[in-house]
Amino acid sequence: MSGRPKEYDDEKVIESAMNVFWNNGYEASSTQMLCQETGLGRGSLYHAFGNKQGLYEKALRHYQDVGIIAQKDILNSQGTAKERLMKLLQWGIATDLDSGSSRGCLALHSVLERSPKDPEIQSINRHYLHRLESLINKVITRGIEAGEFQVTPNSSVASKAFLAGYYGLRIMGVTVGDPCFLNATAEGIIAKM
């Protein structure tokens, strides 16, 4: 006997949980909130994901997997290296200010809230950061080869510097929330490349 069949869609549950964590943070997201938003009972939630931490890890990975697909599409699109990097910055701004919520980047929130005390979350975030840095490095390398940059930077150093600017901009998106200010900041990041 195999028990009752599963009557929910894992991806929808993870997406719903992701939004709870994104809106409230890990600590402020209660099991009750997660049950209410996912439509699962407490027992089903624990059976499927082990605990709140397990669900958080899956939600964070889901957020990062969706994000890296969008970021890869942008960075592999047509245009010069600087144009593609600017598109990535603009995507970050648009994502962070989506529907006027200014909820920012879930990955960044998880770094600030959980990474210092949670090695697994730190590992998940490092893996994501390395994937994004690799994509950015490829674009910058092509830009160097095409002579797009006034000073020929080391692509590894330049990609790390760009990533710092990118995430600084994403933090400012939550703090400032002004698209004009953020777009001017993005232009400044590109101008320094």
Render pLDDT for 84-96 as a digit per residue (tens, 0 to 9).
Answer: 999 999 999 998 8
Domains of the chain in sequence order: 60-191 (1.10.357.10)
Amino acid at 152: T
Render pLDDT for 124-150 as a digit per residue (tens, 0 to 9).
Answer: 999 999 999 999 999 999 999 999 987
Render pLDDT for 19-53 as a digit per residue (tens, 0 to 9).
Answer: 999 999 999 999 999 999 999 999 999 899 999 99
Q: Which residues of 71-105 are buried (b: 16+ CB within 10 A; e: fewer)?
A: beebbeeeeebbebbbbbbbbbbebbbeeeeebbb
